[in-house]
Structure 1
Protein backbone atom coordinates (compact mmCIF):
# COMPACT_ATOMS: atom_id res chain seq x y z
CA UNK A 1 0.00 0.00 0.00
CA UNK A 2 1.14 3.47 -0.74
CA UNK A 3 0.76 6.20 1.83
CA UNK A 4 -0.74 9.18 0.01
CA UNK A 5 -0.46 11.50 3.06
CA UNK A 6 -4.23 11.97 2.91
CA UNK A 7 -6.07 10.31 5.82
CA UNK A 8 -8.40 7.54 4.65
CA UNK A 9 -7.02 7.40 1.10
CA UNK A 10 -4.78 4.54 0.07
CA UNK A 11 -4.27 2.25 -2.91
CA UNK A 12 -3.59 -1.46 -2.87
CA UNK A 13 -2.58 -3.11 -6.14
CA UNK A 14 -3.40 -6.51 -4.63
CA UNK A 15 -7.00 -5.47 -3.99
CA UNK A 16 -7.21 -3.79 -7.40
CA UNK A 17 -6.12 -7.02 -9.17
CA UNK A 18 -8.23 -9.28 -6.95
CA UNK A 19 -5.32 -11.18 -5.40
CA UNK A 20 -6.92 -11.12 -1.95
CA UNK A 21 -10.19 -12.52 -3.28
CA UNK A 22 -8.41 -15.33 -5.16
CA UNK A 23 -6.38 -16.29 -2.07
CA UNK A 24 -9.51 -16.31 0.09
CA UNK A 25 -11.39 -18.53 -2.40
CA UNK A 26 -8.45 -20.93 -2.62
CA UNK A 27 -8.20 -21.20 1.17
CA UNK A 28 -11.93 -21.79 1.61
CA UNK A 29 -12.05 -24.41 -1.15
CA UNK A 30 -8.96 -26.42 -0.13
CA UNK A 31 -8.54 -25.77 3.58
CA UNK A 32 -4.89 -24.87 3.00
CA UNK A 33 -3.96 -21.52 4.59
CA UNK A 34 -2.06 -18.98 2.50
CA UNK A 35 -0.43 -17.01 5.33
CA UNK A 36 2.88 -17.94 6.90
CA UNK A 37 1.40 -18.21 10.39
CA UNK A 38 -1.54 -20.26 9.12
CA UNK A 39 0.75 -22.75 7.40
CA UNK A 40 2.89 -23.03 10.55
CA UNK A 41 -0.21 -23.66 12.69
CA UNK A 42 -1.47 -26.35 10.32
CA UNK A 43 1.90 -28.14 10.18
CA UNK A 44 2.27 -27.90 13.96
CA UNK A 45 -1.17 -29.43 14.51
CA UNK A 46 -0.38 -32.27 12.10
CA UNK A 47 2.94 -33.04 13.80
CA UNK A 48 1.34 -32.94 17.23
CA UNK A 49 -1.38 -35.32 16.03
CA UNK A 50 1.18 -37.81 14.73
CA UNK A 51 3.20 -37.66 17.93
CA UNK A 52 0.11 -38.19 20.10
CA UNK A 53 -0.94 -41.20 18.00
CA UNK A 54 2.53 -42.75 18.44
CA UNK A 55 2.29 -42.63 22.23
CA UNK A 56 -1.25 -43.99 22.55
Structure 2
Protein backbone atom coordinates (compact mmCIF):
# COMPACT_ATOMS: atom_id res chain seq x y z
CA UNK A 1 0.00 0.00 0.00
CA UNK A 2 1.15 3.50 -0.80
CA UNK A 3 0.21 6.49 1.35
CA UNK A 4 0.09 9.97 -0.14
CA UNK A 5 0.24 13.23 1.76
CA UNK A 6 -1.26 15.53 -0.86
CA UNK A 7 -3.03 18.82 -0.46
CA UNK A 8 -6.30 19.24 -2.35
CA UNK A 9 -4.79 21.17 -5.26
CA UNK A 10 -2.10 18.55 -5.85
CA UNK A 11 -4.60 15.68 -5.54
CA UNK A 12 -6.93 17.36 -8.04
CA UNK A 13 -4.06 17.99 -10.49
CA UNK A 14 -2.87 14.39 -10.22
CA UNK A 15 -6.43 13.14 -10.69
CA UNK A 16 -6.85 15.23 -13.87
CA UNK A 17 -3.63 13.78 -15.31
CA UNK A 18 -4.58 10.23 -14.32
CA UNK A 19 -7.95 10.68 -16.05
CA UNK A 20 -6.51 11.97 -19.31
CA UNK A 21 -3.22 10.07 -19.69
CA UNK A 22 -3.38 7.27 -22.25
CA UNK A 23 -0.33 5.01 -22.14
CA UNK A 24 1.20 4.24 -25.53
CA UNK A 25 4.54 2.58 -24.84
CA UNK A 26 4.31 0.23 -27.80
CA UNK A 27 4.02 -2.72 -25.42
CA UNK A 28 0.37 -3.81 -25.07
CA UNK A 29 1.00 -5.63 -21.79
CA UNK A 30 2.74 -2.63 -20.22
CA UNK A 31 0.03 -0.27 -21.49
CA UNK A 32 -2.67 -2.49 -19.96
CA UNK A 33 -0.82 -2.54 -16.64
CA UNK A 34 -0.45 1.24 -16.68
CA UNK A 35 -4.14 1.70 -17.48
CA UNK A 36 -5.11 -0.56 -14.58
CA UNK A 37 -2.78 1.29 -12.21
CA UNK A 38 -4.16 4.65 -13.35
CA UNK A 39 -7.71 3.37 -12.85
CA UNK A 40 -6.83 2.39 -9.28
CA UNK A 41 -5.11 5.73 -8.70
CA UNK A 42 -8.19 7.61 -9.97
CA UNK A 43 -10.40 5.66 -7.57
CA UNK A 44 -8.19 6.40 -4.59
CA UNK A 45 -7.78 10.08 -5.44
CA UNK A 46 -11.51 10.53 -6.03
CA UNK A 47 -12.29 8.86 -2.72
CA UNK A 48 -9.69 10.99 -0.93
CA UNK A 49 -11.10 14.20 -2.39
CA UNK A 50 -14.68 13.20 -1.51
CA UNK A 51 -13.62 12.46 2.07
CA UNK A 52 -11.88 15.82 2.34
CA UNK A 53 -15.00 17.57 1.06
CA UNK A 54 -17.20 15.59 3.42
CA UNK A 55 -14.95 16.41 6.41
CA UNK A 56 -14.79 20.10 5.47
CA UNK A 57 -18.58 20.36 5.25
CA UNK A 58 -18.99 18.98 8.77
CA UNK A 59 -16.98 21.71 10.49
Q: What TM-score, normalized to structure 2?
A: 0.39
More strand by share: 1
Q: Which has the higher contact order (CA 8 A, sep 6+)?
A: 2
**Larger radius of gyration between Structure 1 and Structure 2:** 1
**Where is the helix percentage greater, Structure 1 or Structure 2?**
2
